[in-house]
Amino acid sequence: MKKIYYSLFALSIMIGMTACSPGKGSAPASDNTILAESKAPFGAPEFDKFKIEDYKEAFDYGLAQKRADIKAIIENTDEPTYANTIDALELSGKSLDKVSSIFFNLNESENTPQMTEIEEYVTPKLTELSGYIYMNDTLFGRIRTLYDNRENLGLDEEQMIVLDNYYQSFVRGGALLNEEDKATLLDIDTKLGLAQIKFSSNLLADNKAFKLVITDKADLAGLPQGVIDAAAAEDGSWVFTLDKPSCIPFLQYADNRALREKVYKAYYGRGDNNNQNDNKAIIKEILQLRQQKAKLLGFESFAHFVLDEKMAKTPEAALDLLNKIWEPAVKRAAEERAELQKIADREGAGIKIEGWDWFYYTEKLRKEKYALNDEVITPYFKLENVLQGAFDCATKLYGVKFVKRNDIPVYHPEVSTYEVLDSEGNHLSVFYTDFFPRATKRQGAWMTNFVNQRNICGENVRPMVVNVCNFTAPQGDTPALLNIDETRTLFHEFGHALHGMLTQTHYPSVSGTNVKHDFVELFSQVNEKWAVHPEVMPTFAKHYKTGEPIPAELIGKMQQSAYFNLGFETTELVAAALLDMKMHLIEDYSNFDCNEFEKELRQELGFIPEIEYRYRSTNFAHVFGGGYAVGYYAYLWAEVLDCDAFELFKEKGVFDPATAAAFKNLLEMGGSKDPMREYRKFRGADANPDALLRTRGLI
């Protein structure tokens, strides 16, 4: 997942990335640790020196500096030019960008009540500044003058795209509204920002609140010893949480059905417990505010508003793709359910398969069909080896090298840093990895930037990128061992990281992963394909004790099982995308109840009851706590591209230099070129949606 969490900042103040000269805001205290010039290698953030009490002052200074930079553009009496308007916007707000990129990153992985309080303090200020920028008639007038005359300005393609992005962002930000409606929009955005913070805080708190404490060893029956060891507490009990490395193995292996049900319902019921962390009312508030915003800006629904600037363009186009996948996915899932029921019947379980049985009997079926389970697979996927495998693939494909650095400050002892070099040894990026769960870290996996790439104003600044995950941590003498899903996740997030690290644009607002939302997942999802390719896997999958490469026989079994359980996996994914899309197509939320809506959508879709939405509304952080609202479909939209793209690699060779060089061009261009035109250049044709269905074994 490409994380766009400080979405309020990223959306409303996308224009502040760096500056050639200091802004005019009042100077902060000379000892402010956040804003102080870094003496670390490459100017990396000096996390070891930061003080939490300095954030508010740093934000206040950055906000004032940004406002002063914008004010100077507004008050410029010269005729608008690209340099004195667009370049100036791109160069504004250096300090605000610095503190925002640091704070909002850390707030996801090092969250504390103090950090949440700071977020609540600054969010309305960011919204107010957004209104000052996007609703200023004079500033918009300068941009509009350039936009209307754009064909006569001698601009290159990147400059044309940046100008178009600004014009559209101002229009979508309310520039064409009257003063009363501008004030209303600003109020809506402020309330939305605070509601999304509350949603995320509630979800994190509800996730942390659940603990299954087992004191009777008999209740551990079926669990692998490694899972038991990971759950062992100092008092002799065993504790299981809702973090995926804890709860998923429990659902897969625990023989105690009642406890599986308890964990299953707790995981899917996060945010829906009628307690202080309940998210149902917040969801209704967010949806109402989003619809009000869409209507104010002239759109039928929030879904129409969001998709207007995406490759899909309309809800109908996105729904066409989702519906095309849905029918074969549900059919396959029903066949899988029947197989699981047969196992339960054969064992005399005397049950009808339920959601909390699916993972459990799936593992039994996997072992029966392919002699595969995590106990067989994970010893070959030591985290360090998998990461090195991802590095080696990038080296073979794109010529980049990774050098471990111990002199770059980190924000937690578990974080590692690397310098990334191009084929000639030139510095490309700093890369951070943060792989293990913590109480202060939200669930999931994501990539983001501490510093964005830019090559403007005579300053060539290379990016600083981080991958954050929640993998099973080392236990005693046993290193961190990944299952195949975690291995794919590492390659997935590393694909996003490569997109951020290899970028070669001029303007920061189109660098790296600053591309259309339904294009960004192409690079992460295609990178997963190398993780499980039989030519690649033996190069990094080596037994953590013996160092022996993974046997060809085991790879063969994994290849044979490639379509295993894909009906379930596709159904839960498409269901979540449909839930996201259809929730945002409603025009009147006065009687909306998210639980009732989920039930009604199930009936409409013919959604088999043993499978849950991948995320239910009350814990759908992508949609209600991040920047993926009306965006979850993008994983499947981009999967059409990545499956189609990898078919070319399979045809030419997975490390074919010419194919890799052509794909590297897509990675480097960021958002500076038309994505579908460039994809067609790479592939020689439009992407074929059947490639996705073939890859998932649905045709």
Neighbours of 373 (CB within 10 A): 16
For 73, the enclosing helix (H) or strand (E) is helix 55-74
- 339 flagged as catalytic: no
DSSP-derived pairing of the beta strands 464-468 and 427-434? parallel
In this structure, is the dihedral angle defined by the CA atoms of residues 174, 178, 181 and 187, taken in order, positive or negative? positive
What is the DSSP secondary structure assignment for residue 427, as one 8-state letter?
A: E
DSSP state, residue 441: S
Task: List the structure tokens of 251.
Answer: 């659902």
The pair of three-digit structure tokens given for residue 656, joined into one six-digit string:
């074919």
What is the amino acid identity at position 425? Answer: G
Contact status, residue 93 vs residue 65, Cβ threshold 8 Å: yes
Helix (H) or strand (E) holding 519: helix 517-531
**Number of C-alpha atoms within 13 angstroms, CB side, residue 444?**
20
Q: Residue 400 has which token pair?
A: 């980049």
Q: Cα dihedral angle (610, 616, 619, 620), rounded to 10 degrees?
A: 130
Beta bridge partners of 456: 459
Locus of tokens 């909390």: 356
Give residue 178's identity as a one-letter amino acid code: N
Which among 285, 493, 521, 569 is annotated as catalytic? 493
Backbone angles phi, psi at 220, to 5 degrees: -95, 0
Q: 3-state secondary structure string, 639-687?
A: HHHHHHHHHHHHHHCCCCHHHHHHHHHHHHCCCCCCHHHHHHHHHCCCC
Structure tokens at 105: 């990153």
450, containing H or E segment: strand 446-451
Angle at 363 between CA 361 and CA 364, to 5 degrees: 60
> Going along 178-284, which residue ranges are E strands?
212-214, 238-240
Cα(87)–Cα(490) distance, integer angstroms: 36
**Torsion sign across C-alpha atoms 223, 226, 230, 235:** positive
Q: Are 483 and 377 in contact (CB under 8 A)?
A: yes
Please name the residue ranges forming H helices in 347-406: 355-370, 374-377, 383-398
Residue 189 · residue 130 · CB < 8 Å:
yes
Exposed / middle / buried, residue 608 (Cβ in 10 Å: 0-12, 13-18, 19+) = middle
Give the number of other CB atoms < 10 A from CB of residue 228: 16
Please name the helix (run of DSSP H) or strand (run of DSSP E) that holds residue 146, with its range, or none: helix 137-148
Task: Report in angstroms the alpha-carbon separations of 486 from 382, 444, 490, 557, 665.
Answer: 11, 11, 6, 18, 28
The string over 440-478, giving b where at least 16 C-beta atoms fall within 10 Å of a residue's C-beta and e elsewhere, is bbbbbbbbbbbbbbbbbeeeebbbbbbbbbbbbbebeeb
Give one DSSP letter per residue of 308-341, joined into a string.
TTSSS-SHHHHHHHHHHHHHHHHHHHHHHHHHHH
> Are 619 and 270 within 8 A, CB to CB?
yes
Neighbours of 200 (CB within 10 A): 23
**Among candidate residues 52, 43, 53, the one with its CA nearest the CA of residue 98:** 43
Map tokens 């644009």 to a residue.
Answer: 505
Total number of residues shown for the chain? 699
**What are the residue numbers of the active site?**
493
